[in-house]
Structure 1
Amino acid sequence: MRLLLSLLLAVSSLPVAAAPQLDKLSLPKGFHIAVYSDQVPNAREIALGAKGTVFVGSNDAGKVYALTDTNGDGHADKVRVIASGLELPVGVAFKNGDLYVSAVSRIYVLRDIEQHLDNPPKPVVVTDKLPRETAHGWRFIAFGPDGKLYVPIGAPCNICDPGPAHAKLTRMNADGTDIEDVARGIRNTVGFDWQPGTGHLWFTDNGRDLMGDDMPSDELNEIARPGEHFGYPYCHQGDTLDPEFGKGKSCKDYVPPVLKLGAHVASLGMRFYEGKQFPPSYRGAIIIAEHGSWNRTRKSGYRVMSVRLKGNKVLSYEPLVTGFEQNESAWGRPADVQPLPDGSVLVSDDLAGAVYRVTYKP
């Protein structure tokens, strides 16, 4: 009942969809933003094909999109639906010519997809062994340097002790075999990437609701070794015991976040930036899409942020794109970020149904 109430409140308080309003956006000096495509309803995770295709998962009628920029002008001139009727296919990952798609309890694959964009193959089930709950069942997925597919399994609730089957990050072979846990105590990660140099996996995690406007913070975390526990549901933001499930526990027993991102900002997709178009200070930085709060007195998030690092030490946490929300009214909600080979960065927006391209030119 408590989960149902939370979900109903979330739906009832979401902003009404609006067209992209780029004139309202602010970026640091020298940065520019343009619409890559405004024909991608409920755009979520982005993945890049080997031939430059931009794949976008969504929660729009179970559709997955393929965007192509055939003339190289920085805008997609063709938008195709390559799958439909899937259950919340928000996660996409590309490997060896194939596109993998998350659909709650299942992972599908579309074989040799870039050769068949106009006549896409039928999605083939890779695994159907994932939990069926849709609460925190919208899965961001990605292939790691080890060639394995990483798949999160969020807690099926706002706050509960779900046992070993949930609240974790898993990985599997590309054929769906040998599923194993990577890390535990993760409420709901909807964005992760591997740090160049160290190979460590970093991830965003959404803090629980119903502890007030300013508690607890979303987290940016680093997995230094497999098997680590990041606190949920016992400890939040590395230093605050849960009022119900924290009894008898100590936050010292769990891995604290590298950075507190802010309460209810809904940090989702994140990637390390290794391009050369942005200023040198962005090399190796993390870029994070913050989807925005739904249950806070004054809205937070609704922006794209950059986290500059030195090793695993945070040097700064600063806005890259703001203005999706103004005066408590939002027209856009960033969901994912994806650097392109030319050093520009794509940003998906599931509220405006668009993908933007951020460039830098002094």
Structure 2
Amino acid sequence: MNTLSILPFFRRLAGTCRLASALLAGALTLPAAADALPLEKIALPPGFTIELLARVPNARQMALSPQGVLYVGSMRAGKVHALPLDRDYRPGKLRVVADDLKLPVGVAWRDGSLYVSAVDRILRLDGIDARLDDPPAPAVVRDDLPKETHHGWKFIAFGPDGWLYVPVGAPCNICEPDPERYATILRMRPDGSQLQTFARGVRNTVGFDWHPASGALWFTDNGRDWLGDDRPPDELNHAPKPGLHFGYPYCHGDAIADPEFGRKRACDEFTPPAQNLGPHVAALGMRFYTGSQFPAQYRNQVFIAEHGSWNRGRKIGYRVSVVTLAGDRAVSYAPFASGWLQDESAWGRPADVLVLPDGSLLVSDDQAGAIYRIRYAGERKASGIPQ
């Protein structure tokens, strides 16, 4: 065979190998159509639409700067991403602004700086909006929080009092840890000083917000495992003042005494949930809806990202739910957006929710690596391909 005649074949073969290697290495981005998600499966109330805003790997808590940059924490990825949004909330280039961190789930914005949780540390990226392509090294706000990674990831947020609220989960499924160090919600000044315990008996909260009218703290809490498929419930709790105890590890839900520790304390000693949520739904991020785009009945109500069960016989959660309040009392709990779970198979897991200034609602999904945008627009539509 003529050697020259087979050279084109080997060139094509080499090109194919390079393309395959690039795809395997993640060097090339697949076309949007190949990246589509089945958002047509998401059930919403009449008049609402859902679309894919952007792909963000392992997306967890979200925070929006006044300049319109969306910051997104992660868990397994160890990164914090920044996604600039234009005036119409169309996404720009996704950037990594912090990397190689331990479970940097939580992000919070304050006075030009982004605060990031990383298990035992609270970090701060100063002036980050103007330095997305050249992010500063994180400054350490505090580095003496517990190092345990079991429930060690942290949703963080600034309260209306100007303090940074930071939870410390129980380092176990069920145990009796140091009540001043674990199963707490702490708060500190923005510079990390004056660390205080705000609430106790909180097994693992990964979402909280303050009521727009009363200013009181509300938070989700994940119930313990291995008491059966249908108990205990996850919880939505109301903490109008500091110093309250919410029952862990002695009592769960309204009055379920723990089989291991319940004999030590009576359930009526503790603050009961404002609302029992589904058992093992893994209630994570929550926010009050403060926009005006949605119908009036959603104003100042609680939207909750339910990440979904991992050890229940029949899966539950994998949705966004809404709790309706009357004053400081919960009066209903119902699914708002569902469909990430199909026939016991989940293609996505909601992790956080965030209200945009135009009143639309963002939902992060760490499994699908996505951020969705829900709008009230009349006719029901869905699009899984970024525009």
Contiguous gaps of at least 5 residues in structure 1? 1-17
Shift of 1:73: 4.1
Shift of 1:247: 1.0
Equivalent in 51, 54, 61 of residue 67 of structure 2: 51
Q: TM-score, normalised to structure 1's length?
A: 0.93
SS of the aligned residue for 1:147 comes to: coil
Counterpart contact for 1:19–1:331, Cα < 8 Å: no
Specify the alignment match of 2:320 in structure 1: 304
CA distance in 2, matches of 1:261, 1:192: 15
Specify the alignment match of 1:241 in structure 2: 257
Shift of 1:315: 2.8
CA distance in 2, matches of 1:269, 1:334: 9
Which whole-Å deviations, capped at 9, do the CAs of 1:282-328 have from their partners, x for residues lacking one? 00100000000000000010000111111112232122110000110
After superposition, residues 1-362 of structure 1 pair within 5 angstroms as 20-38=37-55, 40-70=56-86, 72-164=87-179, 165-362=181-378
Shift of 1:41: 1.1
SS of the aligned residue for 1:348 comes to: strand
CA distance in 2, matches of 1:249, 1:110: 43
| Matched AA of 1:35 | L
Counterpart contact for 2:58–2:77, Cα < 8 Å: no
Shift of 1:24: 1.2
SS of the aligned residue for 1:252 comes to: helix
CA distance in 1, matches of 2:332, 2:239: 20
Specify the alignment match of 1:3 in structure 2: none
| Matched AA of 2:340 | F
Q: TM-score, normalised to structure 2's length?
A: 0.87
| Matched AA of 1:116 | R
| Matched AA of 2:160 | P
Counterpart contact for 2:250–2:264, Cα < 8 Å: no
CA distance in 2, matches of 1:208, 1:57: 25
Shift of 1:77: 2.6
CA distance in 1, matches of 2:264, 2:102: 39
CA distance in 1, matches of 2:280, 2:372: 24
CA distance in 2, matches of 1:25, 1:151: 32
SS of the aligned residue for 1:118 comes to: coil
Counterpart contact for 1:100–1:110, Cα < 8 Å: yes
CA distance in 2, matches of 1:314, 1:185: 21
CA distance in 1, matches of 2:348, 2:217: 28
SS of the aligned residue for 1:35 comes to: strand
| Matched AA of 1:356 | Y
Shift of 1:351: 0.2
SS of the aligned residue for 2:297 comes to: helix
Counterpart contact for 1:93–1:141, Cα < 8 Å: yes
CA distance in 2, matches of 1:226, 1:296: 34
Shift of 1:262: 1.1
SS of the aligned residue for 2:278 comes to: strand
SS of the aligned residue for 1:263 comes to: coil
Shift of 1:60: 3.9
Contiguous gaps of at least 5 residues in structure 2? 1-34, 379-387
CA RMSD of aligned residues (A): 1.1
Which of these two proteins has the greater Rg computed from alpha carbons? 2
CA distance in 2, matches of 1:328, 1:316: 26
Shift of 1:118: 1.4
SS of the aligned residue for 1:23 comes to: helix
CA distance in 1, matches of 2:131, 2:152: 29
Higher helix share: 2
Counterpart contact for 1:228–1:255, Cα < 8 Å: yes
CA distance in 2, matches of 1:42, 1:248: 40
Which whole-Å deviations, capped at 9, do the CAs of 1:197-239 have from their partners, x for residues lacking one? 1111000000000101001000000002100000000000021
| Matched AA of 2:272 | P
**Matched residues, number:** 343
CA distance in 1, matches of 2:51, 2:90: 8
CA distance in 1, matches of 2:322, 2:316: 16
| Matched AA of 1:30 | G
SS of the aligned residue for 1:114 comes to: helix
Which whole-Å deviations, capped at 9, do the CAs of 1:38-75 have from their partners, x for residues lacking one? 1x1110000010101110000243100001123x4443
Shift of 1:19: 6.2
